[in-house]
Structure 1
Amino acid sequence: MKKVIVHSLVLVSLVALFILGLGTKTANADTTTDDAASYSNVHQVAKSKLGSPYSWGAVGPNRFDCSGFTSYVYKTAAKVTIPRTAQAQYNKYKHVSWENIQKGDLVFFGYSKGSISHVGLYVGNGKMIDAQNRGVVKEAVHAPWWHAVGYAHVTDFAD
């Protein structure tokens, strides 16, 4: 009987640690780092999809719309689930200025902060990888056909 009680207490303690986020992974995985969340992985997955066709509502692995692409890249490369639409992605994450943007941050476009119509993945040197009518491409963030509305930080990377 004592063994059953001791085993039950150990199990309850482990469950409590997990629920409180004191285990090996934290409850808010999209704002912390772990071995899977590296910018190198994110960039590699994003680059591997260059040339994939655009299809409204598509989430991969072979066709994408803009937010389907960013969702796919984060889920596949970093095990981070981000919201499905560009507006929801914009609404969820901490906004940063253009001067403080980091590789892996999201870049948002539209008419206003309440009307986000496009999202891309910042890859450095003023460039992003995004899914748009020409498919998945690497292009300048500040191109004449885009109106950048904001930038957001999804996660801190291990590298």
Structure 2
Amino acid sequence: MRSRRVPIRLPHHMTRLKLLTILAALVAAAPAQGAVRGLGSWDPIAQRMVREAGVLPSRPAGGFGGAQRLDGAELNDAFAALSMRLGLPAVRVWGGHVSVTRFDALLVEQLGMSDVAQAVQAEAQRAGLRPGPRFGTEVVARELDLRFNHDSAHDAQELYPWEAITRAEAAWSLAIVLQWGHTQPEAVGPGSQQAYARDVLSHFVLPAYTRAQRAALRIAVSKVGMPYIWGGETDWAGSWFGWQAHGGYDCSGLVWRVFILGRQPAGARIHGRTAAAMAAEIPRSQRLRMDETQPGDLLFFGRARIWSRVTEANVTHVGIAIGNGWMINSSSQGVTIAPLWEDWRVKGFSFAGRIL
């Protein structure tokens, strides 16, 4: 059994179902503008919302075309419409297909958060983690809740970061931004999602690493932006432990990729494949509290506590500490970094284990 998908950052952040519930209520309350046809096979609520807001209309040939690639000219028009709602200058986008990471970077720029992304990028670079060129914008996009995974039954619908984004995926992210205007008094001011993300990421400061810590964390950081895939431990479909429908990682699969497939010496201390199996390998006498953690430690979450007998039911998530109150993990937003001081992580923390 692979590691289970866990909810992210409640109550500030919401699951895709909760977000869709909000979007559904907003669409139901919106004035009717005629019948909506051809919305695609999934996420019709988000597609309808961006269509009726004039941000991403149906294609001239008819229908929304959710499975079709988003064109740069369409995104340019979407940003023009969005900028009027946000009171921010429109970002110019040229024609041609837009990759997932390029879309994320452009939307982060449109939301006035490029400086935050640059600071995150620079800090990871300063710490010697060799982040990819889109690391900063991928982190910010996830802190803004703009990127979210399909449920495990639809893993095959995920996109690789380098693939052209579809209109349906773009509609999801754009609908989230539109939703801010309905649920937040100021879409871009104090108390907004941007202000929250800016505050959280202002604390992204990394420590000095040992050679072993740096080697392992470089592998982990290189996977930021990859989707969460149930049973996933590689960049491609197929798996060492059975089939994965798409390239990507579940929480323990990321740990497996970093330390075992990444041929790190510490991998010799890991034998289990699930979060619970890994946690069970840490003797009670060697379990660590949150304030005792160091970069490279495995962080376990669930109902178990430092004295508990570990089961598959009471340890349901694992991440890798990167230091100063941050971890890297694969959860509902795919592989990204996350602060450890947020409420659900504090309450859900079980214990840590040192393998480096």
Settle same-fold status: TM greater than 0.5.
yes
Question: Residue in 1 aligned with 2:215?
Answer: 41
Question: Residue in 1 aligned with 2:150?
Answer: none
1:111 to 2:303 alignment: yes
Question: Residue in 2 aligned with 1:100?
Answer: 292
CA contact (8 A) 1:142 1:148 kept: no
- Give deviations 1:104-140, integer Å, cap 9, x for gaps: 0011111224310000000001000000010001001
1:149 to 2:341 alignment: no
Question: Residue in 1 aligned with 2:273?
Answer: 84
1:72 to 2:257 alignment: yes
Letter in 1 for 2:280: N
CA contact (8 A) 1:42 1:77 kept: no
Distance 2:220 2:288 in 1: 21
Of 224, 233, 248, the residue aligned with 1:50 is: 224
CA contact (8 A) 1:98 1:151 kept: yes
The runs of 5 or more residues in structure 1 that have no matched partner are 1-36
Deviation at 1:99, TM superposition (A): 2.4
TM score, norm. by length of structure 1: 0.69
1:134 to 2:333 alignment: yes
Deviation at 1:77, TM superposition (A): 5.0
Larger radius of gyration: 2
CA contact (8 A) 1:45 1:77 kept: no
How many residues get paired?
Answer: 119
Q: RMSD value over aligned CA atoms?
A: 1.6
TM score, norm. by length of structure 2: 0.32
Q: Aligned with 1:49: secondary structure?
A: coil
CA contact (8 A) 1:141 1:148 kept: no
Distance 2:298 2:341 in 1: 14
Seen in structure 2, the aligned counterparts of structure 1 residues 144 and 97 have a Cα distance that, compared at 3 Å, is closer
Larger relative strand fraction: 1
The runs of 5 or more residues in structure 2 that have no matched partner are 1-210, 236-246
Of the two structures, which has the highest relative contact order with CA contacts closer than 8 Å and spacing of 6 or more? Answer: 1
Deviation at 1:59, TM superposition (A): 1.1
Q: Answer with 44-53 or 137-146: which moved more.
A: 137-146
Task: Give 4+ residue runs of structure 1 displaced > 3 Å after superposition.
Answer: none
Larger relative helix fraction: 2
Deviation at 1:46, TM superposition (A): 0.6
Letter in 1 for 2:259: Y
Distance 1:143 1:107 in 2: 14
Of 313, 316, 319, the residue aligned with 1:120 is: 319
- Give deviations 1:56-83, integer Å, cap 9, x for gaps: 1111234000000011111205141422
